[in-house]
Structure 1
Amino acid sequence: MSENHDIAIIGGGIMGCAAALRLASGGMAPIVLDRGDLGQGASGVNAGTLSLQIKRVRLMPYALKGHEEWARMGDAVGFRRTGGYTLAFTEREAELLTERQTLKAEAGAPIEFVTNNQVLSAEPNLTRRVLAASYCHEDGYANSSLTGQYYRGRLREASVPYRERCAVTSITRDTQGFVLHTGGPPIKARRILLAAGAWLKPVAAMLGVDLPVNARINTVSVTERMPPLFATVIGHATGLLTMKQKGNGTILIGGGWQGRGTPQEGRGEVIADSLIPNLSLAQFALPKLGQARVLRSWTGFEANVPDFYPLAGELPGVPDAFVLGCVRGGYTIGPYIGRLMGDFILGHSPEMPLFNPGRDFEKDAT
């Protein structure tokens, strides 16, 4: 016997779950389907950094709203507003820092430039070789491993059904909408939202749409527990380092260094050629990190399209089908853009513009 819903959402990460909650509050009956567990794709394996200093200028208004959403979630997702420093160690990095952070400040981020003495006064364990730095008091982090637990609770509270370990293998259409085949009873829905992250391309192909989706394989590492060494989020002018010390003393190190693999092959593979320079840069910024053992390194897939902006809108050529995903920094803006997507599907005018999935990606890659 088949199930019938107003909309089926394929993908139970932050964006898909946030959209489902907004749709439910607007009177629709959604169902969320995930090939694994809720919040365990990119939403659950990233470093949890919530830094405005590493967001693209055009996305800054969305990132600011995203920060507000994370603050409202609070302790349930391990949210901490710690402030953050972005560091430059060479003249070229200093120029890059000044250029990028000036544009981001003009876009509304509360970023200021600080001196080396100010950085070392706040974080005395950092290297003395800081040439330039910026600071944002809004920066912080959340615990990405709590993503699934949080959204399971929110979906249950809203009486939104969800299915974990429920991979959609094909999608057909009937007179009433879409039929999703999962190996169990068919799931029917009048509308469909694709929010499958790094798996968006094969899911869209089930509907005959070729989305230009690629996947980055980002590496994250965690150390053993250490005495308190720093209190803020630390980044690098190139974007190749994010670092924060959690309340239990462990230090999370990220920065987008690439591993190896594809979403279709399962979990990606950590490779030494990326891991070693990532850890070396972290130790350069924080010399006492050399006393710590790395307990674990892992990878997570991050979907993107050529211009690195989101896909958020109607799926080209397929009536009643929508797509949401594919952006660097999706962890930060996810709760907010998911809500915007829900408004759009409900027929409301979103508070901010969405991102046309049918756009000319080469023209818009600015």
Structure 2
Amino acid sequence: MTPLDPSQRYDLAVIGGGIMGCAAALTAAQGGLKTVVIEKSELGSGASGVNAGTLSLQIKRVKLMPYAIKGHEIWEHAGDKVGFRRTGGLTLAFTEAEAERLTTYMAMKKEAGAPIEMKSPAEVADMEPGLNKGVVLASYCGEDGYANSSMTGVYYRKRLSDAGITAFENLAVEGIDRDGGFVLKTARGVIRAKRILISCGGWVKEVAAMVGVDLPVRVRINTVSVTERCAPVVSHVIGHATGLLTLKQKANGTVLIGGGWQGRGTPAEGRGEVVADSLLTNIRLAQFAVPALGSCRITRIWTGFEANVPDFYPLAGALDGVPDAFILACVRGGYTIGPYMGHLMGQLILGGQPEMPLFDPNRFAVPDATAASAS
């Protein structure tokens, strides 16, 4: 366990050791800032490590597509270190209404830069003979694939170490004071830094409140399932036109099933709880799309917290009224987009102009007058 030195003063303290916080720390350190990462559990143990690992451009919002394409490239560059695989992806429509929706949305995403094309039922059957024969239309993106999210922590732990960045794990920030910079209070002592980046996912609302900023952050409790090892049933990443299904079969034969179906709980309570009705609906949709899954047993189910704000766009930038405080959170599709968003945030913290625009967090922030004046 690395001891805390209260006399040590960092240029930047990153609160949250997920993909975005670690990526921002790396860019900041490359730019010369003495950087520390503080994680309440283990690196990559939150949403960054418990999501389904899907890297699909088809499920990203149009406005976020340029960021998703860049993030996808970063994961591809990481390759085997994160279990990256490009398989191509099919998004399925089973009714005319779904086909119309799929056509409209994918046209916009193609215009935004995603290499998407539409496939007829016959073409889909040739590509994936094990799919439900009721497919009316599908979209296809050859860049889609997946990585192994459970490798996130190991991957970034090594990268931080190689960059000379101190990372404190299993250490929660319990309060934040000012002394010309920031004093982060923990159970093992204080950590001092000139700047802070708040990037702690489902816990971002509570930490932002420590510097007197109220954010309308809500948390979703997404459920992911994995089957036992089984014979090959699909070779592509499979989605549904409603956005309520993602599945892929890994090299070891297991099938990961997701789609944003909700559990219950709060970050303060720890891990979320699986809701049986929600889980069953997700599994039934997966079995409808891939009938052979009906003979596969589910071996494990888990949940992860995904933070969002009312417009579902990121919070990414400097916090008004709190000099040298930055925030990076609430990124939908954060597994794909996160590495690049973290890089952009690092550029901003270094005082430069990010190569793509960020997302002003102050469109929602309501500074607390008492806390701001005290700081």
Q: TM-score, normalised by structure 2?
A: 0.95
SS of equivalent residue, structure 1 residue 186? strand
Partner of 2:52: 47
Are the aligned partners of 1:305 and 1:327 in contact in 2 as well (CA < 8 Å)?
no
1:10 Cα offset (Å): 0.2
Letter in 2 for 1:101: M
1:132 Cα offset (Å): 1.0
1:199 matches 2:203: yes
- 1:178-327 to 2 correspondences below 5 Å: 178-327=182-331
What do the CA deviations read for 1:290-337 (whole angstroms, capped 9, x no partner)?
010000111000011111111110013110000001021011000001
Q: Distance in 1 between matches of 2:364 and 2:279?
A: 35
Q: Distance in 2 between matches of 1:324 and 1:318?
A: 15
SS of equivalent residue, structure 2 residue 10? strand
Partner of 1:111: 116
What do the CA deviations read for 1:203-229 (whole angstroms, capped 9, x no partner)?
000111001111100000000001111
Q: Distance in 1 between matches of 2:303 and 2:328?
A: 22
Q: TM-score, normalised by structure 1?
A: 0.97
What do the CA deviations read for 1:158-178 (whole angstroms, capped 9, x no partner)?
010000010000000013x00
What do the CA deviations read for 1:21-63 (whole angstroms, capped 9, x no partner)?
0001000011000110000100000000000000000000000
Q: Distance in 1 between matches of 2:352 and 2:76?
A: 25
Are the aligned partners of 1:111 and 1:135 in contact in 2 as well (CA < 8 Å)?
yes
SS of equivalent residue, structure 1 residue 32? strand
Are the aligned partners of 1:219 and 1:299 in contact in 2 as well (CA < 8 Å)?
yes
Are the aligned partners of 2:216 and 2:364 in contact in 1 as well (CA < 8 Å)?
no
Q: Distance in 2 between matches of 1:128 and 1:327?
A: 35
Q: State the aligned residue count.
A: 360
Partner of 2:23: 18
1:185 Cα offset (Å): 2.2
Q: Distance in 2 between matches of 1:316 and 1:118?
A: 53
Q: Distance in 2 between matches of 1:293 and 1:318?
A: 51
Partner of 1:94: 99
**Percent of aligned positions that are identical:** 67
Partner of 1:173: 178
Q: Distance in 2 between matches of 1:48 and 1:19?
A: 20
1:360 Cα offset (Å): 5.6
C-alpha RMSD over aligned residues: 0.9
Are the aligned partners of 1:123 and 1:230 in contact in 2 as well (CA < 8 Å)?
yes
Q: Distance in 2 between matches of 1:158 and 1:360?
A: 34
Are the aligned partners of 1:209 and 1:316 in contact in 2 as well (CA < 8 Å)?
no
Partner of 2:373: none
Which of 78, 87, 98 aligns to 1:82? It is 87
Are the aligned partners of 1:6 and 1:28 in contact in 2 as well (CA < 8 Å)?
yes
Partner of 1:63: 68
Which of 111, 117, 130 aligns to 2:135? It is 130
Q: Distance in 2 between matches of 1:328 and 1:18?
A: 17
